[in-house]
Structure 1
Amino acid sequence: MKRLIERGLMFGNLIEVASPVLVERYNRALRHLTGKTTQLSDFHIDISGYSPEIGDELGDDLYLNQGGCNRQFILLTTEQKTAPLLNAQFSTSRGILKQFIIENEPQLFALTARDCVAGELVNSVFSVSDPTRLFDIRKVEVEADTTEGTLRDADKLGGMVDTFKGEEDAWFDDVLIADMITLAKRTGDVTRNPVRLKHMSFQQDNFWTAHFGGMYVFRGADHPAVISKENKADLGKLPIKYTFDFRDKNQIAKFFEYNDLVEPIVKARGIDASAILRQKMDFIVVDAAQDAGLDLTGATRRDIRALARNNADHLPEEYHALQKLVSWAESEGRWPRITSDHPAYFYTLRAADTPDKDLVNMLLAELAPKDVRQLFICHKEAFYRAYAGWTETKKSYVADFLDREYQADKTGARAALFGHDAPMEEPEPARQDDLIARVGPWGALRR
């Protein structure tokens, strides 16, 4: 993983914590949440305050996410909103934290000037030891306060102020006045400078979870289903009509079509379909070269395509199917019939413009894993797992490609690939109190 870290492709955009004051505040919050502390004098944190260095020190990568269910967080600065979320167990967690920080930024800025803010993403279950428990998760609420209880004290002081103003004899209540003065020393003047965080609740209908080998739950779809990476039989009976795993290619394709979740790349608007398909073909060649033990060090796009021409008879079915699709797109060939049981089928699709497009692209990335660029953009956890098993020559080629072709212009690369609103680094969840009506997709999947 060293070359990924050096190129900013892993642990990129983390927030450095090197000030003794911030380290002390972090330790106070860490003790408050977990009873643990760190001996490190400097480290880096993600959007939730998780530090890979502290995780290594404690021997626990889930020290802020015990059980992988209710993520705890430590906010030292509002700048954490730009950081990634490491060791994500749910696809919605980073989006929830980011929205929480953005919508409460002035208040959090004021609070973190003196202390840090600690809290938890709370749902209705505390353990997902059984797959059925995932269906008890309906919404996620954000609970937060400073380690000194500033918000709790501010609410208490606000109530005292109301009592003082509203009750006739309160002017003579020396105990009430003394308590107000004591609290005001910690909270400031809550009548002139009220510090309150918005109560935020997020719907949890459609999401990915890392639990049980990786599951995509589409509970809010018109035709609900669960799609599991591992054998669906191991999940047992789930409280949803359909359960598929990655071997059920035809059923997954029908699920996409019935819910209008995908569209063919060659018929999508706003993208250069031929360029996208040709790049996918290059990645398939790279994968085949790895299997053949070929050295790709320093290989250019021209080298990859020369390699494809010289070894065309040995390339997999995916390559030849995409080549025919490119010929059709460039008006040089007949429409190729690529059915859902063909290994190239999911390489030909992208998510339609629906509220779940990021989740769908995440799933498509796993169904078409040789497209390493989409896998990296849409599902970093799956990318890192796959990367660990590649040969050194493929690791080098992919790291160089992503550094050269993606890191230089992330927004432009995503726009070129996905056309309509380019996907976020991670999907944004829906607010419970601000849900919008589902918009119609661009049309059902055309045959």
Structure 2
Amino acid sequence: MVRKKVLDNGLTIVAERIPFVRSITMGIWIGNGSRYETKELNGISHFIEHMMFKGTLKRTSKDIAEQMDRVGGQINAFTAKEYTCYYTRTLDTHFDLALDVLTDMFFHSTFAEEEIIKERSVILEEINMYEDAPEEQVHDLLQSTIWDDSLGYPILGTEETLETFRQKTLKEYMSQRYQPTNTVIAVVGYFEYEELYEKLEKAFGHWKSLATPIIQSFKTQYTPGIIKKEKDIEQVHICLGFPGPPIGSKKVYPLSILNTILGGSMSSRLFQKIREEHGLAYSVYSYPSNYQQAGLFTIYAGMNPVQTSRVLELIVEELTLLKKEFITQQEIDQTKEQLKSNYMMGLESTSGRMNSIGRSQLLLNHIQTPNEIIKKIDQVTKEDIEYLIQEIFDFTQMSVSVVGKVKNLKEIPSI
């Protein structure tokens, strides 16, 4: 059972005790990511995440790594468009060390100028590495094309913005965006609730909020578009995008079923048609992206340039067929069981559960129990999915991004 506690400073704690494990996973979830940045500060959220590991007043970056390695623990972080998470996973006997290291990083990182210079080079290499991964780059190109605001910004930032970051810039931004009212601490594993609350109160209770709370709303609009990036590589990588429902929408559950049937698994229609039947692509899949007040449904394929036109034809044919003949009840029932199994098995680790409750509390201000989620999957009807198919797969709203040898691709605008 997940318990929730809000400290006097507005910090939210969500915790779930699992008596049959001996590990504890803890995550600090901040309501800040690239979507909250200005164009001039694009990439600063990810840069701050990196700098948290570069040393504190009493620990060097090596100390942080060695102290966690010494007890067989894990410590890491990630930045997304709408949040940043710092997390640890240790045995329950080493939780105090993990809490001390994580809070030391969180409150006492020095952001030394010499470390900023080094980390800037590291992130520039990360961006360069990304340039060498067209199968990933094509997804970001799609996002940058369709969104009319910061939702389309790259999480890593750009070479130009990274060059402007200094200690003062990072600390000022962090003081504005890192607030207890904007933060959720999620803990899952073997612990006693009251003892945990006492430790977290001691570690975070002193943290003060800004006098004026952070309120930021978005008016993100989806605008269909086509973008091509010429690259001398062996394959062409393509994404087709359609507007989708936002996070928290009732349509998320029927969309999960639709996605699994269309391109979310090896037995999906797109995988079977394009890879197994025709052998035209090694990788083809679909996935939904749900954000606050916005959403996207993406289909990806990577193929030999000479196969591009045929692959696009097959994708459009499959979508057209889907709109005309819909999905059978048998497909829906089988997919429901698949989704429920995947979801429940994903919760068997403390890390999986921590991610689930932390993200839900931060973005939705609510945590659904596994039974509630299973019930919502079961309640999806054939009519729900049929309505969603017609709503999402409007070809006048389709967007396309392409990376590869695209100079001679004339088929894309005519779809």
TM-score range, shorter chain: under 0.3
Q: Larger radius of gyration, structure 1 or 2?
A: 1
User: Which of the pair is proportionally richer in strand?
Assistant: 2
Q: Which has the higher contact order (CA 8 A, sep 6+)?
A: 2
